[in-house]
Structure 1
Amino acid sequence: MATQSPLIEMPLFPLASVLFPAGQLHLRIFEPRYLDLVRECTRHGTGFGVCLILEGHEAGSPAVPAAIGTIARINDFHRGEDGLLGIVAEGGARFRVARSRVRADGLLRGDVEVWPAEPELEVPVEFALLQSILERLIETMAPHWRHAPRSAYDDASWLGFRLAELLPLDATEQQHMLELNDPLLRLAELRDILPRFQKP
Protein backbone atom coordinates (compact mmCIF):
# COMPACT_ATOMS: atom_id res chain seq x y z
CA MET A 1 0.00 0.00 0.00
CA ALA A 2 1.45 3.37 -1.10
CA THR A 3 2.08 5.87 1.66
CA GLN A 4 0.48 9.25 1.21
CA SER A 5 2.80 12.25 0.90
CA PRO A 6 2.73 14.62 3.89
CA LEU A 7 0.58 17.71 3.36
CA ILE A 8 2.26 21.08 2.80
CA GLU A 9 0.53 24.35 3.60
CA MET A 10 0.76 27.12 0.99
CA PRO A 11 -1.11 30.13 -0.39
CA LEU A 12 -3.27 29.43 -3.44
CA PHE A 13 -3.74 31.72 -6.44
CA PRO A 14 -6.84 30.79 -8.48
CA LEU A 15 -6.42 31.83 -12.13
CA ALA A 16 -8.50 31.64 -15.29
CA SER A 17 -5.63 29.72 -16.92
CA VAL A 18 -3.65 26.53 -16.26
CA LEU A 19 0.04 26.50 -15.32
CA PHE A 20 1.99 23.40 -16.38
CA PRO A 21 5.25 22.08 -14.90
CA ALA A 22 8.18 24.13 -16.30
CA GLY A 23 5.70 26.61 -17.80
CA GLN A 24 6.09 30.38 -17.47
CA LEU A 25 3.55 32.52 -15.66
CA HIS A 26 3.39 36.32 -16.02
CA LEU A 27 1.16 38.12 -13.53
CA ARG A 28 0.33 41.72 -12.70
CA ILE A 29 -0.39 42.02 -8.99
CA PHE A 30 -2.66 44.73 -7.60
CA GLU A 31 -4.87 43.20 -4.88
CA PRO A 32 -3.46 43.54 -1.33
CA ARG A 33 -3.93 39.81 -0.60
CA TYR A 34 -1.73 38.87 -3.57
CA LEU A 35 0.87 41.52 -2.76
CA ASP A 36 1.05 39.83 0.66
CA LEU A 37 1.42 36.45 -1.10
CA VAL A 38 4.37 37.74 -3.17
CA ARG A 39 6.01 39.21 -0.06
CA GLU A 40 5.60 35.92 1.81
CA CYS A 41 7.02 33.83 -1.02
CA THR A 42 10.02 36.09 -1.69
CA ARG A 43 10.81 36.44 2.03
CA HIS A 44 10.79 32.69 2.67
CA GLY A 45 11.87 31.45 -0.77
CA THR A 46 8.67 29.40 -1.07
CA GLY A 47 6.18 28.86 -3.86
CA PHE A 48 2.45 29.33 -4.20
CA GLY A 49 -0.18 27.08 -5.72
CA VAL A 50 -1.82 27.99 -9.03
CA CYS A 51 -5.25 26.42 -9.59
CA LEU A 52 -7.73 26.89 -12.43
CA ILE A 53 -10.85 28.80 -11.39
CA LEU A 54 -13.94 26.59 -11.56
CA GLU A 55 -16.33 29.26 -10.26
CA GLY A 56 -15.82 32.98 -9.74
CA HIS A 57 -13.22 35.47 -10.96
CA GLU A 58 -9.55 36.30 -10.43
CA ALA A 59 -10.35 39.55 -8.64
CA GLY A 60 -12.90 40.21 -5.93
CA SER A 61 -14.54 37.48 -3.86
CA PRO A 62 -12.51 34.26 -3.39
CA ALA A 63 -12.97 31.93 -6.36
CA VAL A 64 -13.56 28.18 -6.27
CA PRO A 65 -10.35 26.50 -7.51
CA ALA A 66 -9.73 23.12 -9.13
CA ALA A 67 -8.31 20.49 -6.77
CA ILE A 68 -5.25 19.80 -8.98
CA GLY A 69 -2.78 22.62 -9.52
CA THR A 70 0.88 23.48 -10.01
CA ILE A 71 3.37 25.05 -7.63
CA ALA A 72 4.75 28.34 -8.97
CA ARG A 73 8.07 29.82 -7.87
CA ILE A 74 8.79 33.49 -8.48
CA ASN A 75 12.03 34.04 -10.38
CA ASP A 76 11.68 37.69 -11.43
CA PHE A 77 9.64 40.77 -10.62
CA HIS A 78 9.44 44.34 -11.86
CA ARG A 79 7.34 47.49 -11.57
CA GLY A 80 5.29 48.18 -14.70
CA GLU A 81 4.66 51.57 -16.31
CA ASP A 82 1.21 51.52 -14.70
CA GLY A 83 2.88 51.20 -11.28
CA LEU A 84 1.66 47.64 -10.77
CA LEU A 85 3.96 44.87 -9.62
CA GLY A 86 4.70 42.33 -12.34
CA ILE A 87 6.07 38.89 -11.54
CA VAL A 88 7.41 36.01 -13.59
CA ALA A 89 7.05 32.56 -12.04
CA GLU A 90 7.90 29.05 -13.22
CA GLY A 91 5.73 25.98 -12.80
CA GLY A 92 7.11 23.20 -10.64
CA ALA A 93 5.47 20.10 -9.19
CA ARG A 94 1.76 19.37 -9.46
CA PHE A 95 -0.33 18.94 -6.34
CA ARG A 96 -3.77 18.01 -5.07
CA VAL A 97 -5.55 20.26 -2.56
CA ALA A 98 -6.67 18.19 0.42
CA ARG A 99 -8.42 21.10 2.14
CA SER A 100 -8.51 24.87 1.81
CA ARG A 101 -9.65 27.87 3.79
CA VAL A 102 -10.08 31.58 3.20
CA ARG A 103 -8.20 34.02 5.44
CA ALA A 104 -9.82 37.22 6.70
CA ASP A 105 -8.04 39.18 3.94
CA GLY A 106 -9.56 36.93 1.27
CA LEU A 107 -6.36 34.99 0.53
CA LEU A 108 -6.98 31.31 -0.08
CA ARG A 109 -4.64 28.85 1.64
CA GLY A 110 -4.50 25.11 1.13
CA ASP A 111 -3.03 21.95 2.58
CA VAL A 112 -1.70 20.19 -0.50
CA GLU A 113 -0.25 16.81 -1.39
CA VAL A 114 2.64 17.29 -3.80
CA TRP A 115 2.73 14.80 -6.69
CA PRO A 116 6.01 13.17 -7.71
CA ALA A 117 7.46 14.15 -11.08
CA GLU A 118 6.40 12.01 -14.02
CA PRO A 119 8.90 9.40 -15.18
CA GLU A 120 11.11 10.46 -18.08
CA LEU A 121 9.87 8.47 -21.06
CA GLU A 122 11.27 8.74 -24.57
CA VAL A 123 8.76 9.92 -27.17
CA PRO A 124 7.71 6.90 -29.29
CA VAL A 125 8.13 7.24 -33.04
CA GLU A 126 4.36 7.39 -33.62
CA PHE A 127 4.33 10.81 -31.92
CA ALA A 128 7.12 12.32 -34.05
CA LEU A 129 4.57 14.63 -35.72
CA LEU A 130 3.88 16.22 -32.32
CA GLN A 131 7.57 17.11 -31.99
CA SER A 132 7.46 18.91 -35.36
CA ILE A 133 4.26 20.74 -34.44
CA LEU A 134 5.75 21.91 -31.15
CA GLU A 135 8.84 23.25 -32.92
CA ARG A 136 6.58 25.37 -35.17
CA LEU A 137 4.46 26.58 -32.24
CA ILE A 138 7.54 27.60 -30.27
CA GLU A 139 8.96 29.48 -33.25
CA THR A 140 5.84 31.65 -33.53
CA MET A 141 4.36 31.72 -30.00
CA ALA A 142 6.96 30.92 -27.37
CA PRO A 143 10.39 32.36 -28.18
CA HIS A 144 11.59 31.67 -24.62
CA TRP A 145 11.63 27.95 -25.55
CA ARG A 146 13.68 28.40 -28.76
CA HIS A 147 16.88 27.38 -27.00
CA ALA A 148 15.42 24.28 -25.37
CA PRO A 149 17.81 21.35 -25.88
CA ARG A 150 16.90 18.73 -28.46
CA SER A 151 16.68 16.21 -25.62
CA ALA A 152 13.65 18.09 -24.21
CA TYR A 153 11.63 17.24 -27.34
CA ASP A 154 12.40 13.56 -26.73
CA ASP A 155 10.90 13.72 -23.21
CA ALA A 156 7.23 12.68 -23.45
CA SER A 157 6.25 14.66 -20.35
CA TRP A 158 7.91 17.92 -21.47
CA LEU A 159 6.54 17.56 -25.01
CA GLY A 160 2.99 16.98 -23.76
CA PHE A 161 3.00 19.84 -21.27
CA ARG A 162 4.38 22.31 -23.84
CA LEU A 163 1.78 21.28 -26.44
CA ALA A 164 -1.01 21.50 -23.87
CA GLU A 165 -0.06 25.10 -23.04
CA LEU A 166 0.50 26.27 -26.65
CA LEU A 167 -2.29 24.54 -28.60
CA PRO A 168 -5.62 26.45 -28.59
CA LEU A 169 -7.26 24.18 -26.02
CA ASP A 170 -9.94 25.55 -23.73
CA ALA A 171 -9.18 25.77 -20.01
CA THR A 172 -11.15 22.62 -19.18
CA GLU A 173 -9.11 20.61 -21.71
CA GLN A 174 -5.87 22.08 -20.37
CA GLN A 175 -6.90 21.11 -16.84
CA HIS A 176 -7.59 17.56 -18.04
CA MET A 177 -4.10 17.39 -19.59
CA LEU A 178 -2.59 18.64 -16.31
CA GLU A 179 -4.42 15.96 -14.32
CA LEU A 180 -3.35 13.03 -16.52
CA ASN A 181 -0.56 11.01 -14.94
CA ASP A 182 0.57 9.08 -18.02
CA PRO A 183 2.79 11.11 -20.40
CA LEU A 184 2.08 8.77 -23.33
CA LEU A 185 -1.68 8.90 -22.81
CA ARG A 186 -1.42 12.71 -22.79
CA LEU A 187 0.42 12.62 -26.14
CA ALA A 188 -2.16 10.22 -27.58
CA GLU A 189 -5.04 12.50 -26.57
CA LEU A 190 -3.26 15.57 -27.95
CA ARG A 191 -2.64 13.76 -31.25
CA ASP A 192 -6.33 12.86 -31.46
CA ILE A 193 -7.31 16.52 -30.88
CA LEU A 194 -5.04 17.86 -33.65
CA PRO A 195 -7.46 17.44 -36.60
CA ARG A 196 -9.66 20.08 -34.96
CA PHE A 197 -7.00 22.72 -35.59
CA GLN A 198 -6.22 21.83 -39.20
CA LYS A 199 -7.49 24.23 -41.84
CA PRO A 200 -9.99 22.59 -44.25
Structure 2
Amino acid sequence: MTNFVPIFPLSIVVYPGEDLNLHIFEPKYKQLIKECFDQKKPFGMPVVINNKVNELGTLVDIVEISKLYDNGEMDIKTKGQKVFRVLEIINEVPDKLYSGAIVSYPANSDHGKKLLMNKVVAAIKELHKLLKVNKPFHKEEDQLSSYDVAHHAGLTLEEEYEFLSLTNELQRQEYLKRHLAKVLPVVAEMELLKEKIKLNGHFKNISGFNIS
Protein backbone atom coordinates (compact mmCIF):
# COMPACT_ATOMS: atom_id res chain seq x y z
CA MET A 1 0.00 0.00 0.00
CA THR A 2 1.28 3.46 -0.90
CA ASN A 3 -0.23 6.88 -0.37
CA PHE A 4 0.54 10.59 -0.15
CA VAL A 5 1.07 12.18 3.28
CA PRO A 6 2.00 15.71 4.35
CA ILE A 7 5.40 15.61 6.05
CA PHE A 8 6.93 17.37 9.02
CA PRO A 9 10.64 16.35 9.04
CA LEU A 10 12.26 16.57 12.49
CA SER A 11 15.53 15.54 14.09
CA ILE A 12 13.78 13.09 16.39
CA VAL A 13 12.55 9.53 16.17
CA VAL A 14 8.93 8.83 17.10
CA TYR A 15 7.85 5.24 17.68
CA PRO A 16 4.42 3.68 17.09
CA GLY A 17 2.27 4.18 20.17
CA GLU A 18 4.43 7.03 21.48
CA ASP A 19 2.88 10.27 22.72
CA LEU A 20 4.63 13.40 21.49
CA ASN A 21 3.84 17.02 22.38
CA LEU A 22 4.92 19.73 19.93
CA HIS A 23 4.88 23.52 19.74
CA ILE A 24 4.08 24.58 16.17
CA PHE A 25 5.33 28.00 15.07
CA GLU A 26 6.45 27.88 11.42
CA PRO A 27 3.78 29.05 8.92
CA LYS A 28 3.99 25.93 6.73
CA TYR A 29 3.53 23.60 9.68
CA LYS A 30 0.75 25.71 11.16
CA GLN A 31 -1.04 25.16 7.85
CA LEU A 32 -0.22 21.44 7.85
CA ILE A 33 -1.47 20.87 11.39
CA LYS A 34 -4.67 22.89 10.92
CA GLU A 35 -5.58 21.02 7.73
CA CYS A 36 -4.76 17.58 9.14
CA PHE A 37 -6.67 18.30 12.34
CA ASP A 38 -9.73 19.67 10.52
CA GLN A 39 -9.75 16.72 8.09
CA LYS A 40 -8.86 14.16 10.79
CA LYS A 41 -5.88 12.98 8.77
CA PRO A 42 -2.43 11.89 9.99
CA PHE A 43 0.87 13.37 8.86
CA GLY A 44 4.33 11.89 8.47
CA MET A 45 7.45 12.66 10.49
CA PRO A 46 10.52 11.48 8.55
CA VAL A 47 13.72 11.49 10.59
CA VAL A 48 16.35 14.15 9.90
CA ILE A 49 19.96 13.22 10.71
CA ASN A 50 22.90 15.48 9.87
CA ASN A 51 20.59 17.82 7.92
CA LYS A 52 19.40 14.97 5.70
CA VAL A 53 15.84 13.68 5.47
CA ASN A 54 16.02 9.91 5.79
CA GLU A 55 13.69 7.41 4.16
CA LEU A 56 12.07 6.13 7.36
CA GLY A 57 9.66 7.94 9.60
CA THR A 58 6.48 7.52 11.59
CA LEU A 59 2.91 8.39 10.72
CA VAL A 60 1.31 10.32 13.59
CA ASP A 61 -2.24 11.28 14.53
CA ILE A 62 -3.12 14.64 16.06
CA VAL A 63 -4.81 13.83 19.35
CA GLU A 64 -5.66 17.43 20.21
CA ILE A 65 -4.67 21.05 19.80
CA SER A 66 -3.99 21.89 23.43
CA LYS A 67 -3.47 25.63 22.97
CA LEU A 68 -3.95 28.06 20.11
CA TYR A 69 -2.04 31.34 20.37
CA ASP A 70 -3.12 34.70 18.96
CA ASN A 71 -0.36 34.55 16.32
CA GLY A 72 -1.51 31.13 15.07
CA GLU A 73 1.14 29.16 16.90
CA MET A 74 -0.17 26.10 18.72
CA ASP A 75 0.65 23.38 21.20
CA ILE A 76 -0.44 19.96 20.00
CA LYS A 77 -0.52 16.39 21.28
CA THR A 78 0.23 13.62 18.80
CA LYS A 79 0.50 9.84 18.88
CA GLY A 80 2.73 7.63 16.74
CA GLN A 81 0.81 5.26 14.50
CA LYS A 82 3.07 3.21 12.21
CA VAL A 83 6.43 3.26 10.45
CA PHE A 84 6.61 4.34 6.82
CA ARG A 85 9.27 4.39 4.11
CA VAL A 86 9.56 7.44 1.83
CA LEU A 87 9.41 6.48 -1.84
CA GLU A 88 9.41 10.04 -3.19
CA ILE A 89 9.45 13.48 -1.59
CA ILE A 90 7.13 16.06 -3.16
CA ASN A 91 8.84 19.34 -2.34
CA GLU A 92 6.14 21.56 -3.83
CA VAL A 93 2.51 20.65 -3.24
CA PRO A 94 -0.01 22.81 -5.15
CA ASP A 95 -1.51 25.57 -2.96
CA LYS A 96 0.38 24.31 0.11
CA LEU A 97 3.28 25.77 2.07
CA TYR A 98 4.39 22.34 3.29
CA SER A 99 5.92 19.39 1.46
CA GLY A 100 4.64 15.85 1.18
CA ALA A 101 5.79 12.37 0.31
CA ILE A 102 4.66 9.18 -1.36
CA VAL A 103 5.17 6.49 1.26
CA SER A 104 4.78 2.77 1.78
CA TYR A 105 4.31 0.86 5.01
CA PRO A 106 6.69 -2.05 5.69
CA ALA A 107 5.20 -5.15 7.28
CA ASN A 108 5.91 -5.07 11.01
CA SER A 109 5.72 -8.09 13.32
CA ASP A 110 4.88 -7.48 16.99
CA HIS A 111 5.71 -11.02 18.14
CA GLY A 112 8.53 -11.00 20.66
CA LYS A 113 9.55 -13.05 23.69
CA LYS A 114 8.13 -12.18 27.09
CA LEU A 115 11.17 -13.42 29.00
CA LEU A 116 13.51 -11.39 26.79
CA MET A 117 11.36 -8.29 27.24
CA ASN A 118 11.49 -8.76 31.01
CA LYS A 119 15.29 -8.83 30.84
CA VAL A 120 15.33 -5.64 28.78
CA VAL A 121 13.05 -3.86 31.24
CA ALA A 122 15.18 -5.01 34.19
CA ALA A 123 18.34 -3.75 32.47
CA ILE A 124 16.73 -0.36 31.75
CA LYS A 125 15.70 -0.04 35.40
CA GLU A 126 19.29 -0.84 36.42
CA LEU A 127 20.57 1.81 33.99
CA HIS A 128 18.22 4.42 35.43
CA LYS A 129 19.28 3.47 38.95
CA LEU A 130 22.96 3.96 38.09
CA LEU A 131 22.24 7.27 36.38
CA LYS A 132 19.89 8.37 39.18
CA VAL A 133 17.20 9.01 36.55
CA ASN A 134 13.49 8.86 37.29
CA LYS A 135 11.65 8.15 34.04
CA PRO A 136 8.65 5.92 34.70
CA PHE A 137 7.10 3.72 32.06
CA HIS A 138 3.63 4.74 30.89
CA LYS A 139 2.27 1.19 30.94
CA GLU A 140 2.27 -1.75 33.30
CA GLU A 141 5.53 -3.65 32.90
CA ASP A 142 3.84 -6.79 31.59
CA GLN A 143 2.25 -4.70 28.81
CA LEU A 144 5.45 -3.05 27.57
CA SER A 145 6.80 -3.52 24.04
CA SER A 146 10.22 -2.58 22.72
CA TYR A 147 8.76 0.62 21.23
CA ASP A 148 7.50 1.64 24.68
CA VAL A 149 10.95 1.47 26.27
CA ALA A 150 13.32 2.45 23.45
CA HIS A 151 13.57 6.08 24.57
CA HIS A 152 14.47 4.88 28.07
CA ALA A 153 17.58 3.02 26.93
CA GLY A 154 19.93 5.92 26.17
CA LEU A 155 20.21 5.37 22.42
CA THR A 156 21.79 8.01 20.20
CA LEU A 157 19.68 9.53 17.42
CA GLU A 158 21.45 7.29 14.91
CA GLU A 159 20.77 4.23 17.06
CA GLU A 160 17.14 5.24 17.49
CA TYR A 161 16.82 5.45 13.71
CA GLU A 162 18.49 2.06 13.29
CA PHE A 163 16.03 0.69 15.84
CA LEU A 164 13.15 2.21 13.84
CA SER A 165 14.31 0.23 10.79
CA LEU A 166 13.79 -3.10 12.59
CA THR A 167 10.46 -4.57 11.52
CA ASN A 168 10.30 -7.49 13.94
CA GLU A 169 9.64 -7.21 17.68
CA LEU A 170 12.11 -9.99 18.50
CA GLN A 171 14.85 -8.15 16.57
CA ARG A 172 14.03 -4.97 18.47
CA GLN A 173 14.20 -6.75 21.82
CA GLU A 174 17.56 -8.27 20.91
CA TYR A 175 18.85 -4.86 19.78
CA LEU A 176 17.99 -3.29 23.13
CA LYS A 177 19.43 -6.25 25.02
CA ARG A 178 22.78 -5.91 23.21
CA HIS A 179 22.84 -2.15 23.65
CA LEU A 180 22.19 -2.35 27.37
CA ALA A 181 24.74 -5.15 27.83
CA LYS A 182 27.28 -2.79 26.25
CA VAL A 183 26.46 0.42 28.12
CA LEU A 184 25.68 -0.88 31.62
CA PRO A 185 29.28 -1.85 32.48
CA VAL A 186 30.53 1.50 31.15
CA VAL A 187 28.01 3.45 33.23
CA ALA A 188 28.78 1.35 36.30
CA GLU A 189 32.49 2.07 35.85
CA MET A 190 31.78 5.79 35.47
CA GLU A 191 29.76 5.80 38.68
CA LEU A 192 32.65 4.07 40.47
CA LEU A 193 35.02 6.68 39.04
CA LYS A 194 32.77 9.49 40.26
CA GLU A 195 32.80 8.02 43.77
CA LYS A 196 36.60 7.81 43.70
CA ILE A 197 36.86 11.43 42.62
CA LYS A 198 34.54 12.49 45.44
CA LEU A 199 36.92 10.88 47.94
CA ASN A 200 39.87 12.98 46.80
CA GLY A 201 40.70 15.67 49.36
CA HIS A 202 38.92 13.91 52.21
CA PHE A 203 40.63 12.41 55.26
CA LYS A 204 40.90 8.71 54.62
CA ASN A 205 40.80 6.00 57.25
CA ILE A 206 42.84 3.31 55.48
CA SER A 207 44.97 0.63 57.09
CA GLY A 208 48.60 0.55 55.98
CA PHE A 209 49.97 -2.46 54.16
CA ASN A 210 51.93 -4.73 56.45
CA ILE A 211 55.06 -5.82 54.54
CA SER A 212 56.50 -8.05 57.27
CA shift for structure 1 position 121: 3.2
Counterpart position of 2:164: 178
Q: Pick from 96, 111, 124: which aligns with 1:120?
A: 111
| Superposition CA RMSD, Å | 2.5
Gap runs ≥5 in structure 2: 190-212
TM-score normalised by length of structure 2: 0.74
Larger radius of gyration: 2
Query: 2:122 matched to 1:132?
Result: yes
Gap runs ≥5 in structure 1: 57-63
TM-aligned CA distance change 1:36 to 1:106, over 3 Å: closer
Counterpart position of 2:54: 66
C-alpha distance in 1, partners of 2:149/2:12?
A: 15
Query: 2:1 matched to 1:12?
Result: no
TM-score normalised by length of structure 1: 0.78
Q: Pick from 78, 86, 102: which aligns with 1:111?
A: 102
More strand by share: 1
C-alpha distance in 1, partners of 2:161/2:70?
A: 32
Question: Is the contact made by 1:93 and 1:116 (CA closer than 8 Å) also made in structure 2?
Answer: no
Query: 2:183 matched to 1:196?
Result: yes
Question: Is the contact made by 1:134 and 1:162 (CA closer than 8 Å) also made in structure 2?
Answer: no
C-alpha distance in 1, partners of 2:140/2:167?
A: 24
C-alpha distance in 1, partners of 2:175/2:110?
A: 18
TM-aligned CA distance change 1:187 to 1:74, over 3 Å: same
One-letter code aligned to 2:135? M
Aligned-residue sequence identity (percent) comes to 21
C-alpha distance in 2, partners of 1:169/1:175?
A: 9
